[in-house]
């Protein structure tokens, strides 16, 4: 295991508001991380701290073994694509793709050209005249073509339609396969990216509440459905994450079951179903699914 | 951290000169905007002035004509280009700074690179205006006694003096614009309002002092005896102060949305 980020007790306060609260975690090399959480949970602030764009109130952040703040050696390994990125006045995408290679030594111009075609981006139109989705495509192309060893995508697909988002996921996976690197993807479209993610960090109210391998996390909960009384009997004494019911039938989501418990459940004609990453996170963050989807 | 974990460290940074020059190049990327547009607008202003000079020239003769040319030395037609550079400097911080940070440039490299670009711009524009001031002289005011580039504020001394006045004025507007924009990026409107308040207080204090001590005559005399070169030389003080202040303010600034 080789770590590229080591955060220890990181706190960021804005006046009386604590956006990031005593957060500690490490990020391993060459994996795809999901940084998930509701709007205002502290995702963007955390990424700004990790990329040296903002200054931590307390705690230590080491990226590639050193503080990223004003550290050219560290920063030239990073690429941070954010939804709210601003561009110089009257720049066109063409200008962006001409200037980015000066700062990213691994830049692949051919790959960038191919992505321009994939996203049908008008490269000679002034940035301020691009649609929201086209603007997002500019960021996505820079993030992919820069091939930075550590790439951050903060909600990169605002305004991109489902087809364009799928292109983004496909190209990311393809290129990640050929050029392994560490990717941190912040998103609220959890189900859409869940296949992509190898590790999940969930941040809620400024704290990291889940820091787990994505597969382990998926297996950490199961929904048990069946006749109410049988289900109640089965789940007694367990941690119940969620419960719904209609009439005499009920569905209860509980923490991980062992193999023998699964067999026991099948014997009592209870139905077991996996829980999606999104449902799981929604339940762990104590919000409704609707709330989560509305937050961006 | 467990003993099993190792740390991937970053390779050495690119040389500082490369990093700073790359940041400087960001200001030249859209050359049409940075270099072409100001000259285009200056040309339009020049043509409008030329039309007025022609009318004056055609409707006067002899001593009147000389008086008109005398009066035109107070032309402020070129002031636009200095204000334009103030705006270029403000945009460099408000738009290009967040962009540069997005490309993983350090604040230090960005500021130093932008300063390099602005010094180069000052010499490009200063050289251009110096050349135009000579053409204006050689052609007898574009053939009609017009004056725009030999206005009284720039002086009509030897080439190095003209060059110095133009370059120093450009530097002043670039660095003052950049410093005020860093105040905004760092402290938003509160920063600008504080700066405005401080300047207002200084000006009021100066005016009050000059009036109270009845020394306006000396103030006027100072401007007259210092001449354009002497007065402009003094602008280097606020220029350098603004340059240094901008650097330290930006080092701890975060672009906000």
Domains and CATH numbers, chain A: 3-215 (3.40.50.300), 220-294 (3.30.70)
B158 belongs to a structural domain:
yes
CA-based radius of gyration for chain A: 21
Question: Which of A2, A48, A90 is closest, CB to CB, to B30?
Answer: A90
pLDDT band at B147 (very low <50, low <70, confident <90, very high): confident
Give how far Cα B132 sits from Cα of B19, B58, B79, B136, B149, Å.
35, 24, 15, 6, 6
In the prediction, which pLDDT does A261 show?
86
B29 belongs to a structural domain:
yes
In the prediction, which pLDDT does B1 show?
45
Place of tokens 């600008």: B192
Q: How far apart are CA A122 and CA A93, in angstroms?
A: 8
Cα atoms in the Cβ-side hemisphere of radius 13 Å centred on A166: 3
3-state SS, one letter per residue, for chain A: CEEEEEEEEEEEEECCEEEEEEEEEEEECCCEEEEECCCCCCHHHHHHHHCCCCCCCEEEEEECCECCCCCHHHHCCEEEEECCCCCCCCCCHHHHHHHHHHCCCCCCHHHHHHHHHHCCCCCCCCHHHCCHHHHHHHHHHHHHHCCCCEEEEECCCCCCCHHHHHHHHHHHHHHHHHCCCEEEEEECCHHHHCCCCCEEEEEECCEEEEEEEHHHHHHCEEEEEEEHHHHHHHHCCCCEEEEEEECCEEEEEEECCCHHHHHHHHHCCCEEEECCHHHHHHHHCCCCHHHHHHCC
Chain B: residue whose CA lies nearest to A27 = B7
The answer to whether residues B114 and B23 touch, using CB atoms and an 8 Å cutoff, is yes
Q: How close A205 comes to chain B (CA, Å)?
A: 20
Is residue B154 scored above 90 in pLDDT?
Answer: no
Task: Name the pairing type of β-strands A17-28 and A78-82.
Answer: unpaired
Question: Which of A62, A80, A89 is closest, CB to CB, to B102?
Answer: A80
Q: Which residues of B touch A73 (CB under 8 A)?
A: 10-13
0.80 exceeded by the pTM? yes
Question: Which of A6, A48, A87 is closest, CB to CB, to B254?
Answer: A48
DSSP run (H or E) holding B153: none
B47 belongs to a structural domain:
yes
B199 belongs to a structural domain:
yes
Predicted-complex ipTM score: 0.88
Q: Which residues of B touch A103 (CB under 8 A)?
A: 22, 103-105
**CB-based contact A70 B254, cutoff 8 Å:** no
Per the structure, how many domains does chain B have?
Answer: 1
Q: Which residues of A touch B8 (CB under 8 A)?
A: 2-4, 29, 64-65, 149
A94 at B interface, C-beta within 8 A: no
The answer to whether residues A233 and A267 touch, using CB atoms and an 8 Å cutoff, is no
- Which are the contacts of B208, defined by CB distance < 8 A and separation ≥ 6? none
B9 belongs to a structural domain:
no
B11 belongs to a structural domain:
no
**CB-based contact A72 B19, cutoff 8 Å:** yes
pLDDT band at B165 (very low <50, low <70, confident <90, very high): very high
Q: How far apart are CA A197 and CA B81, in angstroms?
A: 53
Is residue B114 scored above 50 in pLDDT?
Answer: yes
Residue ranges of chain B whose CB lies within 8 Å of a chain A CB: 1, 4-14, 16, 19, 22, 25-26, 29-30, 33, 91, 95-96, 98-99, 101-109, 251-252, 254-255, 257
Q: Containing domain of residue B228, as a range?
A: 18-251
In the prediction, which pLDDT does A296 show?
43
Cα atoms in the Cβ-side hemisphere of radius 13 Å centred on A86: 15
Choosing among A64, A88, A97, A139, which should be mutated to test the B contact, i.e. which has the most B CBs within 10 A? A88
Mean model confidence pLDDT for chain B? 89
Q: How far apart are CA A86 and CA A180, in angstroms?
A: 28
Model confidence over B39-67: pLDDT tens digits?
A: 898 899 999 989 988 888 888 888 888 88
Tell me the mean pLDDT per 10 residues along chain A, length 296: 93 93 96 91 94 95 96 96 88 96 96 97 95 95 97 92 93 96 92 91 93 89 89 86 86 84 86 87 70 52
pLDDT band at B10 (very low <50, low <70, confident <90, very high): confident
Could you tell me how many CB contacts below 8 A there are between chain A and chain B? 117
Q: Which residues of A touch B255 (CB under 8 A)?
A: 53, 86
pLDDT band at B108 (very low <50, low <70, confident <90, very high): very high
- Which residues pair with residue A274 across a beta bridge? A222
A88 at B interface, C-beta within 8 A: yes
Q: How far apart are CA A156 and CA B102, in angstroms?
A: 13
Structural tokens at position B75: 């032309």
Q: Which of residues 139-198 of A touch B (CB under 8 A)?
A: 148-149
**Which has the higher per-residue pLDDT, A153 or B81?**
A153
Q: Which of residues 28-47 of A touch B (CB under 8 A)?
A: 29
Structural tokens at position A198: 């190898």
Chain B: residue whose CA lies nearest to A3 = B7
**CB-based contact B30 A88, cutoff 8 Å:** yes
A14 at B interface, C-beta within 8 A: no
């Amino acid at each position: 295991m080789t770590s590229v980020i080591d955060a220890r007790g990181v706190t960021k306060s804005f006046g009386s508001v604590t956006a990031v609260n005593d957060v500690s975690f490490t990020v391993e090399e060459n994996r795809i991380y999901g940084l998930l959480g509701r709007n205002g949970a502290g995702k963007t602030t955390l990424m700004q701290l990790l990329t040296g764009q903002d200054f931590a109130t307390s705690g230590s952040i080491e990226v590639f073994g050193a503080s990223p703040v004003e550290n050219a050696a560290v920063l030239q390994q990073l690429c941070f694509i954010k939804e709210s990125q601003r561009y110089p006045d009257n720049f066109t995408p063409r200008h962006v793709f001409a200037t980015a290679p000066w700062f990213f030594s691994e830049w692949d111009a051919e790959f960038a050209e191919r992505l321009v075609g994939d996203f049908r981006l008008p490269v000679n139109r002034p940035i301020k005249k691009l649609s929201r989705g086209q603007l997002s495509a500019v960021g996505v192309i820079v993030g992919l073509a820069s091939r930075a060893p550590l790439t951050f995508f903060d909600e990169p697909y605002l305004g991109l339609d489902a087809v364009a988002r799928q292109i983004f996921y496909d190209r990311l996976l393809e290129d990640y396969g050929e050029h392994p690197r560490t990717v941190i993807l912040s998103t609220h479209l959890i189900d859409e990216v869940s296949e992509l993610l190898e590790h999940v960090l969930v941040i809620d109210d400024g704290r990291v509440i889940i820091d787990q391998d994505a597969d382990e996390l998926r297996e950490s909960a199961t929904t048990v459905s069946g006749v109410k009384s049988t289900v109640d009997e089965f789940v007694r004494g367990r941690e119940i994450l969620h419960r719904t019911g209609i009439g005499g039938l009920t569905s209860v989501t509980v923490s991980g079951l062992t193999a023998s418990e699964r067999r026991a459940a099948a014997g009592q004609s209870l139905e077991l179903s996996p829980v999606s990453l999104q449902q799981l996170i929604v339940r762990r963050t104590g919000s409704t699914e609707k709330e989560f989807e509305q937050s961006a | 951290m467990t003993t099993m974990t190792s740390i991937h460290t970053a390779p050495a940074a690119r040389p500082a000169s490369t990093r700073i020059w790359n940041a400087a190049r960001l200001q030249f990327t859209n050359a049409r905007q940075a270099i072409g547009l100001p000259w285009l607008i200056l040309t339009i202003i020049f043509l409008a002035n030329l039309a007025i000079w022609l009318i004056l020239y055609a409707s006067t003769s002899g001593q009147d004509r000389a008086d008109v040319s005398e009066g035109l030395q107070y032309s402020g037609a070129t002031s636009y280009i200095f204000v334009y550079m103030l705006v270029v400097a403000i945009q460099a911080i408000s738009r290009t700074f967040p962009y540069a940070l997005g490309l993983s440039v350090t604040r230090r490299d960005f500021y130093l690179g932008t300063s390099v670009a602005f010094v180069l711009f000052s010499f490009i524009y200063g050289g251009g205006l110096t050349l135009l001031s000579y053409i204006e002289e050689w052609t007898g005011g574009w053939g009609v006694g017009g004056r725009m580039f030999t206005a009284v504020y720039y002086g009509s001394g030897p080439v190095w003096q003209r060059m110095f006045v133009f370059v120093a004025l450009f530097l002043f507007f670039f660095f003052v614009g950049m410093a005020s924009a860093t105040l905004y990026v760092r402290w938003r409107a509160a920063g600008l309002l504080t700066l405005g308040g401080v300047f207002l207080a200084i000006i009021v204090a100066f005016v009050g002092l000059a009036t109270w001590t009845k020394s306006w005559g000396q103030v006027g005399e100072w401007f007259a005896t210092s001449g354009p070169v002497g007065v402009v030389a003094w602008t280097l003080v606020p220029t350098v102060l603004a340059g240094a202040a901008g650097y330290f303010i930006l080092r701890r600034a975060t672009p906000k949305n």
